Amino acid sequence: MEYISTRANHQPVSAGEAIRLGMVPGGGLFVPQSFPAYQPAAGQGANWSYDQLARDILGLYLTDYDPAALAAMVDAAYYGGQFDAGIAPVVPVGENAILELWHGPTAAFKDMALQLTPRLLTAAVAQSGQEQETVILVATSGDTGKAALEGFKNVPGIKIIVFYPAQGVSPIQELQMRVTDGDNTYVAAVEGNFDDCQTAVKQLFADAALEAKLAAAGKRFSSANSINWGRLLPQIVYYYYGYGQMVSQGLVEPGRPIDVVVPTGNFGNILAAYYAQRMGLPLGRLVCASNRNNVLTEAIASGHYNSRRPFYKTTSPSMDILISSNFERFLFEMLDRDGQACAGLYQQLAATGAFACPQAQARWEGLLWGGCASEEEGAAAIAQTWKQHHYLLDPHTAVAVAVAQQYRQQQEAAPLLIVSTASPFKFPRAALSALGADTSGPEGALCDRLSQVTGWPVHPALQGVEQKPLRHHARIPREGIGAYVEEVLGLR
Ligand SMILES: *Cc1c(COP(=O)(O)O)cnc(C)c1O
């Protein structure tokens, strides 16, 4: 399987090369040349194991990797004690089924991929025979940062540098990142928002002069964001796994479609659902749930992507995004893989902050549905779900639940699988506030209080995080990201 650029500006590369590069030098994202059909051998859902699904799906796309090595990576990523037993359990909550993706080491769904990505990357570097140090640049809206730090820390041949918006992540998310140990980890708070971080990082990737300087020093950039194929691919697996559990729990007839509702920021998670659908998993509609930053809701309905709008900080910070990177990969498909057309739209986005794609919009109608929830609607979903079902939602999942409600009211829905992306203990203030409980006092105390109020145990990844020493202190202006990277790498 080879990988091509969404902007028709690169020759096809192997999977290993796509993962090693992270994104297309000069802009654009790598996508697989085709989507292999996949039907798990073990019946129609009831016996699908995570392990087998992951090995099969990775194998179909990573044809230049040794299957035995892939199996060992899957085993080490998901069965080495990082995840509790269910890995990604489906829990029925009222008329919805919730796919819990936060049972990993940092309590957010990013772990599902990022326990594997570093293994895929180091194998690709080894295979390339180049003795280069790989420098992972990460822009994070909160959860990717910590998950990537945990995945990449102390991995030989790698340095990881994480940028997060100084006021744009939750206090617990910030603490989680700043206490990270490891001799190859760097974390900087940026005075700006997530889009500033992401745009700056993408510019560094596209900077040819810097690339030459890095090469001379024996280094090369790569990415742990969902622009990297090695981060996106593992996410296809849990849609199959979730479907299989819905079948085994009697929530859907084998082979019948389900709709999925995904709380969306960078469009990576929902894109993985789309890819699963292309491979033959019976997913009906993909419902894209946004918070008050509803650029995607508008784009999906109108075909007009307009990032020139106010940026709101919300209680679901991982979705506070105006430029959803992976929408480009989806758009590429809706444009019938016309890379020139896709490049044109993204040049327009870079120049003007907006583009219109009415023909593509006509293609996704019936496939993609968008909705958004206000802060109040999100909080109401937390309160209502708790009251009715004694199930505790985090504020991101709450946005999805609120949008699922709108969706049911407006459309004929198949059985719904709602993707839950974070443990509520990552956002205790929002959860307590929605439940009408006391939110005074330090953040660490809020986790324990949320546990007392609900009887839910604090997620193991978050126990005692406020007692750990802070190891990272950098704070930089948004124009300073390039200089910071050069300083860390000793290039200036
Ligand atoms: C990253 C994240 C999202 C958004 O996922 P994308 O793949 O960027 O769309 C949603 N919720 C949480 C908790 C996240 O960490």
Pocket test for ligand 1, best of 421, 425, 427, 459 (most atoms within 8 A of CB): 421
Ligand 1 center to 226 CA (angstroms):
10
Q: Is 319 in the pocket of ligand 1 (CB under 6 A)?
A: yes
Q: Is 108 in the pocket of ligand 1 (CB under 6 A)?
A: yes
Q: What pLDDT, on a 0 to 100 scale, did the predictor assign at position 44?
A: 74
Side-by-side strand order, sheet with 368-372: 90-93, 96-100, 416-420, 258-263, 283-290, 368-372
Q: Is 318 in the pocket of ligand 1 (CB under 6 A)?
A: yes
pLDDT beyond 80 at 43? no
Ligand 1 center to 148 CA (angstroms):
14
Whole-number average pLDDT of the chain: 95
Alpha carbon nearest to ligand 1 atom 2, residue: 318
> Do 94 and 389 meet the contact criterion of CB atoms below 8 Å apart?
yes
Ligand 1 center to 255 CA (angstroms):
28
Q: Is 107 in the pocket of ligand 1 (CB under 6 A)?
A: no
Chain segment 232-252, per-residue pLDDT in tens? 999 999 999 999 999 999 999
Chain segment 370-389, per-residue pLDDT in tens? 999 999 999 999 999 999 99
Backbone angles phi, psi at 256, to 5 degrees: -80, 150
Pocket test for ligand 1, best of 143, 236, 271, 368 (most atoms within 8 A of CB): 143
The rounded distance, in Å, linking the Cα atoms of 42 and 39 is: 9
Going by pLDDT thresholds of 50, 70 and 90, the confidence category of residue 41 is confident
Q: What pLDDT, on a 0 to 100 scale, did the predictor assign at position 382?
A: 98
Ligand 1 center to 267 CA (angstroms):
8
Q: Is 397 in the pocket of ligand 1 (CB under 6 A)?
A: no
Alpha carbon nearest to ligand 1 atom 8, residue: 266
Q: Is 266 in the pocket of ligand 1 (CB under 6 A)?
A: yes
Contacts of 286 (CB under 8 A, 6+ apart): 259, 260, 262, 270, 273, 274, 277, 367, 368, 369
Q: Is 225 in the pocket of ligand 1 (CB under 6 A)?
A: no
Q: What pLDDT, on a 0 to 100 scale, did the predictor assign at position 14?
A: 98
pLDDT beyond 80 at 46? no
pLDDT beyond 80 at 428? yes
Contacts of 316 (CB under 8 A, 6+ apart): 263, 291, 378, 395, 396, 398, 399, 427, 430
Q: What percent of the chain has pLDDT over 70?
A: 100
What pTM, to 2 d.p., does this model score?
0.95
DSSP β-bridge partners for residue 164: 189
Q: Is 265 in the pocket of ligand 1 (CB under 6 A)?
A: yes
Q: Give the other-Cβ count within 10 Å of 374's Cβ.
A: 15
The rounded distance, in Å, linking the Cα atoms of 104 and 460 is: 9
Among 37-51, 164-178, 187-201, 446-460, the minimum mean pLDDT is found in 37-51
Q: Is 52 in the pocket of ligand 1 (CB under 6 A)?
A: no
Pocket test for ligand 1, best of 117, 318, 321, 372 (most atoms within 8 A of CB): 318
Going by pLDDT thresholds of 50, 70 and 90, the confidence category of residue 85 is confident
Q: Is 426 in the pocket of ligand 1 (CB under 6 A)?
A: no
Ligand 1 center to 44 CA (angstroms):
29
> Do 380 and 363 meet the contact criterion of CB atoms below 8 Å apart?
no
Alpha carbon nearest to ligand 1 atom 14, residue: 318
> Do 2 and 12 meet the contact criterion of CB atoms below 8 Å apart?
yes
Q: What percent of the chain has pLDDT over 90?
A: 89
Ligand 1 center to 363 CA (angstroms):
25
SS (H, E, C) the chain: CEEEECCCCCCCEEHHHHHHHCCCCCCCCEEECCCCCCCCCCCCCCCCCHHHHHHHHHHHHCCCCCHHHHHHHHHHHHCCCCCCCCCCCEEEECCEEEEECCCCCCCECHHHHHCCHHHHHHHHHHHHCCCCEEEEEEECCCHHHHHHHHHHCCCCCEEEEEEEECCCCCHHHHHHHHCCCCCCEEEEEEECCHHHHHHHHHHHHCCHHHHHHHHHCCEEEEECCCCCHHHHHHHHHHHHHHHHHHHHCCCCCCCCCEEEEEECCCCHHHHHHHHHHHCCCCEEEEEEEECCCCHHHHHHHHCEEECCCCCCCCCCHHHCCCCCCCHHHHHHHHCCCCHHHHHHHHHHHHHHCEEECHHHHHHHCCCEEEEECCHHHHHHHHHHHHHHHCCCCCHHHHHHHHHHHHHHHHCCCCCEEEEECECHHHCHHHHHHHCCCCCCCCHHHHHHHHHHHHCCCCCHHHCCHHHCCCCCCEEEEHHHHHHHHHHHCCCC
Ligand 1 center to 343 CA (angstroms):
25
pLDDT beyond 80 at 422? yes
Among 68-72, 131-135, 323-327, 451-455, the minimum mean pLDDT is found in 131-135
Q: Is 145 in the pocket of ligand 1 (CB under 6 A)?
A: no
Nearest-atom number in ligand 1 for the CA of 272 is 7
Ligand 1 center to 420 CA (angstroms):
10
Chain segment 393-406, per-residue pLDDT in tens? 999 999 999 999 99
Nearest-atom number in ligand 1 for the CA of 226 is 7
Going by pLDDT thresholds of 50, 70 and 90, the confidence category of residue 130 is confident
Going by pLDDT thresholds of 50, 70 and 90, the confidence category of residue 142 is confident
Among 109-113, 124-128, 178-182, 277-281, the minimum mean pLDDT is found in 124-128
